[in-house]
Structure 1
Amino acid sequence: MRRFYSRDVSKELGYFVNGRIFRIQNEYTRRDGGTHESRAALARLRRDLDGGAPAWMMIGSDLFEDWSQTLPSGEEDPAALRAARASLALYAIHQQSRRNGVAQDAQSAGKRRMTFGRACRLIEPDTDHANGVKRRLAAAEAAPDFDGVVRIMRALIMLMRSAGDGVITLDYRSLTQDLYQIQFPESRHEVFQRWSMDYYSNPNAKSQNN
């Protein structure tokens, strides 16, 4: 079992989960209304986050199909598995009933990666009126465990879904890496430092809302 944060695992995991998300997103947002398979996958992943223990046999094909041989197994690195599962579930909540993709595509990512901190700023760009967002971000940093952080992230993503008429997108490759890194005491603080910097140093937030 891995005891320390691995940048190599984080990078590989981010690319793997992002690829799975875009496979679902490309099918779900098709002009013909999307495929039954993509709608079913999103429903399974949302339901998995609602429960206590994961329903592994329900989400196995969504998570483990084509699991990269360069990624560790669940026994070798449980943090990688938890991060992948949480990222897919958060995406499923974010994408629900949205006809436009909420995962940031490569073209817009080339301009500026929509990290979690930047996306949170878009919920209410005026920080003087964003006490609810700031309170939740502070609560995530203070959460005693990974599940607590994910619950608060879910609440923030729900706010992104209801913020204005636009679609707040997220770079889910970056988010997956954050979810992995946050589980290691020696690297956890770096995630919240990055979220804080991205949240507060984004004066042109409105122009980033797609």
Structure 2
Amino acid sequence: MRRYFSRDVAGKLGYFVNRRIFKLQNEYTKRDGGTPESRAALARLRRDLDGGAPAWMTVGSDLFEGWGRSLPSGEEDPAAVRAARAAMELYACHQQSRRHGVAQDAKDADKIRMTFGRACRLIDPDMEHAKGVRRRLSAAEAAPDFNGVVRSVRALIMLMRSAGDGTITLDYRSLAQDLYQIQFPEACSEVFQRWSMDYYSGTGATTQRHDA
């Protein structure tokens, strides 16, 4: 079992999650209303976050298909599995009933990378009225365990869904890496520092990531 944060694993995990999410997003946002398979996959992924017990032999194909040798096994590094699972479940909540893709498109290379902190700032750019956003960010930092962090992140993603015209996108590759890193005591503070800087400096700020 891995006891220390690995930047190499974080980078590979982010790319794996991104591939899985974009495969699903491309199917779900097709002009004909998306494929039945993609709608069913999103429903399965949401079920766990909604408190239902997942049927692992069914949801496993959505989560783990393509989990190659470059990524650790669940026994070697359970934090990687938890991060991938949480990121994809959060994406499923964010994408629900949206006909546009909510995961930031990798083709938008000319745009600012929409990290979690930057996306949270877009919920309500008026800092005078964004106390609820900051309260939830603080709750994530103060959470006693990983599940508590995920609950706070989900609350913020639900605010992204309802903010403005509902078009806030999120870089899920970045979020998956953060959710992995946040599980290691020696490395989690760096994540909250990054979220804070990206949030308070606004969407035009740039911060160096571990996979840059």
TM-score by length of structure 2 reads 0.93
Residue 49 (str. 1) matches residue 49 (str. 2): yes
The aligned residue for residue 92 of structure 1 is: 92
1:45-89, CA deviations, whole angstroms, 9 ceiling, x for partnerless residues?
000222276542231000111112110000000000000000000
- Percent of matched pairs sharing the same residue: 79
Higher helix proportion (structure 1 or 2)? 1
Query: Aligned in 2, Cα 1:34/1:74: closer, same or farther, shift over 3 Å?
Result: same
User: In 2, distance between residues paired with 1:145 and 1:185?
Assistant: 11
Contact 1:121 1:202 in 2 (8 A): yes
CA contact (8 A) 1:27 1:34 kept: yes
Residues 56-75 of structure 1: matches in 2 within 5 Å?
56-75=56-75
- Within 1, Cα distance between the matches of 2:126 and 2:204? 10
SS of 1:167 mapped into structure 2: coil
The answer to whether residue 127 in structure 2 is matched with residue 130 in structure 1 is: no
Mapped pair 1:29 → 2:29:
yes
Cα displacement string for residues 10-50 of structure 1 (whole angstroms, at most 9, x for unaligned residues): 00000000000000000000001100000000000000222
Question: 1:31–1:53: structure 2 CA closer, same or farther, 3 Å change rule?
Answer: closer
Letter in structure 2 aligned against 1:40? A
Give yes or no for the alignment of 1:170 onto 2:175. Answer: no
The answer as to whether partners of 1:109 and 1:171 remain within 8 angstroms in 2 is: no
Counterparts of 1:66 and 1:168 in 2: how far apart (Å)? 28
| Unpaired stretches in structure 2, ≥5 consecutive residues | 206-212
Task: Kindly indicate whether the alpha-carbon contact (under 8 Å) linking 1:140 and 1:152 is maintained by their aligned counterparts in 2.
Answer: yes
Q: SS at the partner of 1:106?
A: coil
Instruction: State the partner residue of 1:3.
Output: 3
The answer to whether the 8 A contact 2:118-2:203 is kept is no
Shift of 1:203: 6.4
The question of whether the paired residues in 1 share the 8 Å contact of 2:18 and 2:172 is answered with yes
**Code of the aligned partner of 2:75:** E
Q: CA 1:3–1:110 in 2, change beyond 3 Å: closer, same or farther?
A: farther
Root-mean-square deviation (CA), in Å? 1.4
Deviations 1:127-156 (A, max 9, x none): 111000000000100000000000010000
**2:112 touches 2:203 (CA, 8 Å); kept in 1?**
no
CA distance in 1, matches of 2:109, 2:46: 25
Quickly say closer, same or farther: Cα 1:59–1:163, change in 2 above 3 A. Answer: same
Q: In structure 1, list runs of 5 or more residues that go unmatched.
A: 206-210
TM-score (ref. length: structure 1) = 0.94
Q: 1:109 to 1:115 in 2, by over 3 A?
A: farther
Say how many residue pairs are matched.
Answer: 205
Contact 1:5 1:184 in 2 (8 A): yes
